Amino acid sequence: MTRYLISDHHFDHDNIIGYCDRPFTSVGEMHDVLLSRFHETVDPDDTLYHLGDVAMAMRDGEKTGEWLGRLSESAVLVRGNHDAALDPENVDYPVVSACVLEAGDYRFYCTHRPEDTPEWWDGWVLHGHHHNNHPEEYPFVRADEKRVNVSAELLDYRPVALPSVVRLLEACAERDRRLVRDRAAADELLEGSP
């Protein structure tokens, strides 16, 4: 069993294609690619930590549950701003405002918006919310701020395994690399790692 992370699928959100310059011509195409890349990456016995904004479901929480169910049978939802209508009492998976994960020597505070991280937290932060709209401030990895942005756009619309995040952070430390813009840059960095 592997733990996977992603945020900001934004299923059923027409405007997200233009807002985040997603490479899709329609919402239907976007749905097909998001679902196929997810299922190519994550096995049924893996656990998904979705860091919010599963769907455009500000008024209809059932949509969030339906889409999350199409992704994974074993999921934890860290509620995002677009998941606001979801009633945690009506779903059979955990819905939290934040959680802490541990892997190797790392502790991660998982939240949708990095701005919601408690001031006392001194470990790494896994988050979404900022998509690919502020690449200098919120790239995939910002080591100097101890943040990892798992927004779908930065991951080539595929969840990332928590052990891969740990390997990436170790490679960043070894090479004194402070920023990794996206998954392609991460793969490049990891190719040169032992």
Pairing of strands 106-110, 99-103: antiparallel
- The per-residue pLDDT for 62 is 84
List the beta strands (DSSP E) in 99-146. Answer: 99-103, 106-110, 124-127, 141-142
* Contact yes or no for 162/103 (Cβ under 8 A): yes
Say which CATH topology domain 3-191 has. Purple Acid Phosphatase; chain A, domain 2 (3.60.21)
Instruction: Name the helix (H) or strand (E) containing 19.
Output: helix 16-19
pLDDT at 192: 62
Q: What per-residue confidence (pLDDT) applies to 58?
A: 64
- pLDDT at position 194 is 52
* Beta strands at 124-127 and 147-149: parallel, antiparallel or unpaired: parallel
Place of tokens 């701005």: 115
**CA dist., res. 78 & res. 72, Å (int):** 14
Q: What is the mean pLDDT of each run of 10 residues along the chain (194 residues)?
A: 97 95 97 98 97 84 88 94 85 93 97 98 97 95 97 98 96 91 91 64
Element (H, E) at 73: none
Which pTM was predicted? Answer: 0.95
Q: Which structure tokens are listed for 181?
A: 């813009």
What value does the CA radius of gyration of the chain take, rounded to a whole number of Å?
16
Token reading at 74: 């074993």
How far CA 185 is from CA of 21, 141, 158, in Å, comes to: 19, 10, 15
Residue 191: per-residue pLDDT: 83
Cβ–Cβ under 8 Å, residues 160 and 146: no
Q: What is the pLDDT of residues 134-157, one digit of tens each?
A: 999 999 999 999 999 999 999 999
Q: How many residues does the structure list for the chain?
A: 194
Residue 100 has a pLDDT of: 98
DSSP 152: G
What is the H or E stretch that residue 153 is in?
A: none
